Structure 1
Amino acid sequence: MAKVKLTAVCKVCGSEIELPEDVMDGEITSCPTCGTRYIVRLKGEKVELEEFKGDVEDYGE
């Protein structure tokens, strides 16, 4: 069984963002090219990125 490679596209610079196969809904990731931060939203087999605005330290409290 082949591993599924989860990827998303940065909305700012268009770079491909590779996500770990165990990524969870609501996890924060960032673009390796421009550094824009996103909240990962899993919708079935689909991955969407929601722009993160704020401090990582405040997230989830």
Structure 2
Amino acid sequence: MATQKLVVKCNVCGTEFELPEDVMDGEITSCPTCGARYIVRIKGGAVSLEEFKGDVEDYGE
């Protein structure tokens, strides 16, 4: 069974990039092109990016 790739789009520069298969809700990621930081949100199987404002700590969960 093939796994579905989790591809998201940066809201700053428009770059599409792939998230790791084991990404979790609340995890922090950044755009590989411009470095914009986001909080990964997973709801009902849909993955979205929320702007990271610097007030959330990523403990590597």
State whether TM-score is above 0.5. yes
Is 2:28–2:58's contact at 8 Å kept on the other side of the alignment? Answer: no
- Establish whether residue 24 from structure 1 lines up as the match of residue 24 from structure 2: yes
> Percentage identity across aligned positions?
71
TM-score, scaled relative to structure 2 = 0.87
Consecutive aligned runs of 4 or more in structure 1 exceeding 6 Å deviation: none
Paired letter, 1:45: G
CA distance in 1, matches of 2:43, 2:23: 12
Cα root mean square deviation, aligned: 1.8
Paired letter, 1:50: E
Is 2:26–2:40's contact at 8 Å kept on the other side of the alignment? Answer: yes
For structure 2, which runs of at least 5 residues remain unmatched after alignment?
Answer: none
CA distance in 2, matches of 1:22, 1:13: 25
When you count helix as a share of all residues, which structure comes out higher?
1
2:38 is matched with 38
For structure 1, which runs of at least 5 residues remain unmatched after alignment?
Answer: none
Q: What is the CA deviation profile of residues 12-57 of structure 1, one whole-angstrom value per residue up to 9, with x for unaligned ones? A: 00001210111000000000000000000001121110010116xx
1:14 is matched with 14
